Amino acid sequence: MTVWICATCAVEHRDSAAPPNGECAICADERQYVPEDGQRWTTLTELREAGTTIDLAEVEPGLYGLSTTPAVGIGQRALLLQTDDGNLLWDPVGYVDDAAIEKVRELGGIAFVVASHPHMYGVQVEWSHAFGNAPVLVPEADKRWLMRPDPVVRFWEGTVKLLPGTTLIQVGGHFPGSAAVHWTGAADDNGVLLAGDTVMPGRRVGSASFMRSFPNMIPLSQAAVRKIVANLEPYEYDRLYSNFGTVVRPNAKAGVKASAERYLAWIRGDFDDDI
């Protein structure tokens, strides 16, 4: 049997003798896309034989980024968050190999695997199996998008205290179960938020924005953005990391709130006279 991986989003699918019949459901959804030349499937073996590697680099003390070269699927950067009681793998990439496993093992392994939303599921079950069947947490609200069921999967909702100093938060927005991780264990004692692309840093320092679909440029509603901000309000964070290596800092919480107010003002039409 073979684990099939969508070449566009890099999300793993059920073990089977032949590729899945039809399009990847995640890519067929309006938030993603099937390429003009059609659905294509790949495998870990094919990616390995093509020379795919995983680069690991420190982002800040206790936080490491993992990126594939060349990019696999959407090309996200996973984050490995270290705590004294184990590590959290966030937004796992759509590839894993022995060299990456050894590097992560040297940093303490993996206690939990969690993705911010279905586009970031990657090969989460493969990562789990490589580290003693570490639990893979999938939000109850998004379980329909789980393309590879496995006994390692645990469903959750609301907020979950996973490891010391870490809280998994159901934020909503991009998907109903879109999540973020709040981390109080940063070296400077200031809070850090791992936000996937639920809150996406902008090019302007301190700015961010919100989208239902980035590739298809579909915005979120006022209600959805207000919900995101409200769900993050109880948490203090100085830095916000996306799943593509971008960051809001310093005073990230204030930056996110100001960006949300700007977004809402444009959606309401406050600045239409300037057009």
Question: What are 157-202's pLDDT values in tens digits?
Answer: 999 999 999 999 999 999 999 999 999 999 898 999 999 999 999 9
With 90 as the cut, is the pLDDT of residue 274 above it?
A: no
User: CA 74, CA 244: separation in Å to the nearest integer?
Assistant: 10
Tell me how far apart the alpha carbons of residues 63 and 59 are, in angstroms, rounded to a whole number.
5
Give the count of beta carbons closer than 10 Å to the beta carbon of residue 85: 12
Q: Is 157 helix (H, G, I), strand (E, B) or coil?
A: coil
pLDDT one-digit tens code per residue, 112-149:
999 999 999 999 999 999 999 999 999 999 999 999 99
Question: Quick check: helix, strand or coil at residue 219?
Answer: strand
pLDDT in tens, 18-65: 999 999 999 999 999 999 999 999 999 999 999 999 999 999 999 999
Please classify residue 102 by burial: count the beta carbons closer than 10 Å to its beta carbon, then call 0-12 exposed, 13-18 middle and 19+ buried: exposed
Polymer length of the chain: 275
Percent of the chain with pLDDT over 70: 99
| pLDDT score for 104 | 98
Read off the CATH number of the domain in which 117 is found: 3.60.15.10
Backbone angles phi, psi at 240, to 5 degrees: -125, 125
> Which residue reads 């006279």 in tokens?
273
Cα–Cα distance for residue pair 89/203, rounded to 1 Å:
26
Confidence (pLDDT) at 221: 96
* Half-sphere exposure for 195 (CA within 13 Å, toward CB): 31
Domain that holds residue 69: 2-274
Residue from 68, 136, 73 nearest 97 by CA: 68
Is residue 223 within a helix (H) or strand (E), and if so which, with residue range? helix 222-232
pTM: 0.96
Per the structure, how many domains does the chain have? 1
Give the DSSP H or E segment for 166. Answer: strand 166-170
